[in-house]
Amino acid sequence: MAIVASDLSSVRATPSPYLSWQAAVKSAIRDAGELCRELKLPPELASRSAADSFRVFAPRGFVAKMVPGDPADPLLLQVLPRADEAEQADGFVRDAVGDLDATRVPGLIHKYHGRVLLIATGVCAVHCRYCFRRHFPYEDAPKSLAAWRPAIETIARDKSVEEVILSGGDPLSLVDHLLERLFEELDRISHVKRVRIHTRLPIVIPERVTDEFVRCLTAMRIAPIVVVHANHARELAEDVSTALAKLRQAGIPILNQTVLLRGVNDQVDSLVDLSRALVNVGVMPYYLHQLDRVAGASHFEVPVARGLELVEQLRSKLPGYAVPRYVQEVAGESGKRILA
């Protein structure tokens, strides 16, 4: 929490809208027992040891979209630490997608032609239990503009890099003035044409889409693209669609990625509802990811054969543009592997 915590203290004197999203970060539920109590569920539902290995972090606005009393709520399952996480499943490892091998300088992952991934921060505004980054050594990721210097210099030297993907963690955990500084640095590198922001913040804390952030994005020479991450239609409530509309009205393309998750969205109706909810607010379904085989997440896995069947059913129910590409990340390949 280093960055958010320190930035919060420096920003406290600034008037809203900054305060609102940072207050939401600050007041997020960080305790499994509290999460259960909030939802009128027995505390035994949560596993202490799972929570010890990857801390609970759930913004209250996200929790408010869960159905109280339902232990199988698809939003709850994404954030609730469960005993299943202790399962030792074959093939589920700590560095599931070879990120450590592809790290060029601290915080810079270069796997695919023309685009690099910059870990702008290790901080997220929600802790997703299935996340492949749950074991990532974020302590090594840059924590200040000065620490980004080697990554920025590496990008500046490599003329093949057209697109910089800000990832994390969640890059929108950074305050706007830091993001703006980073955008300015990237804007100066003439071969960089696009900046893509991979973020779950507009979904879990929609207040994060501040006017200032939208202004920073549109002030650049380089073209911004925002890729959000929603897994279930219920995540796209009115507060979220209003936030997304701000980006859309500023002319910023918005894509969505989803992880195929057992118990969360592995039924055709839930995937259809999600795609409909997305396209109805102007967000294009981009990728449906096969789960990365990260240790502690095996209980979320949906077999590829089932995923293929689901995508085929989606094709029979939705317009072509509303069907995401079903992909899998395979270490060492030149791009995401397209499954369907």
Ligand X SMILES: *Cc1c(COP(=O)(O)O)cnc(C)c1O
Asked if 197 interacts with ligand X (CB under 6 A), we say: no
Site for ligand SF4 in 132-151 (CB under 6 A): 133
Rounded to 10°, the helix 2-11/18-26 angle is 140
Asked if 200 interacts with ligand SF4 (CB under 6 A), we say: yes
Asked if 112 interacts with ligand X (CB under 6 A), we say: yes
Nearest distance from residue 248's CB to ligand SF4, in Å? 21
Asked if 208 interacts with ligand SF4 (CB under 6 A), we say: no
Nearest distance from residue 330's CB to ligand X, in Å? 11
Site string for ligand SF4, 229-258 (x = CB under 6 A): x-----------------------------
What would the two tokens of residue 30 be? 């960080």
Asked if 126 interacts with ligand SF4 (CB under 6 A), we say: yes
The 3-state DSSP composition of the chain as helix, strand, coil percent (nearest 5) reads: 40, 15, 45
Size of the site for ligand SF4 (CB under 6 A): 11
Burial 41-69 (b: 16+ CB within 10 A, else e): beeebbbeebbeebebbbbebbbebbeee
Asked if 118 interacts with ligand SF4 (CB under 6 A), we say: no
Gap between the Cα atoms of 40 and 67, Å rounded: 10
The string of DSSP letters for 114-131 reads TEEEEE--S--SS--TT-
Q: 208 touches which of ligand SF4, ligand X, none (CB within 5 to 8 A by kind)?
A: none
**Residue of the chain from 58, 76, 108, 109 that contacts ligand X (CB under 6 A):** 109
Q: 170 touches which of ligand X, ligand SF4, none (CB within 5 to 8 A by kind)?
A: ligand SF4
Asked if 29 interacts with ligand X (CB under 6 A), we say: no
- On the 0-12 / 13-18 / 19+ scale of CB atoms within 10 A, 125 is buried
Give one word for 86, left, alpha or beta, with left for phi > 0 and alpha for psi -120 to 50: alpha
The answer for residues whose C-beta is within 8 angstroms of residue 109's C-beta and 6 or more apart is 99, 102, 103, 116, 117, 118, 119
What would the two tokens of residue 139 be? 């302590």
Asked if 314 interacts with ligand X (CB under 6 A), we say: no
Do 216 and 183 form a contact (C-beta atoms < 8 A)?
yes
Beta carbon nearer to ligand X, 207 or 329: 329
**Residue of the chain from 65, 82, 111, 229 that contacts ligand X (CB under 6 A):** 111
For residue 199, the cross-strand partners are: 228
Gap between the Cα atoms of 263 and 225, Å rounded: 30
Asked if 128 interacts with ligand SF4 (CB under 6 A), we say: yes
Q: 203 touches which of ligand X, ligand SF4, none (CB within 5 to 8 A by kind)?
A: none
Residues that bind ligand SF4 (CB under 6 A): 124, 126-128, 131, 133, 168-170, 200, 229
Residues that bind ligand X (CB under 6 A): 109, 111-112, 115, 117, 165, 329, 335-336
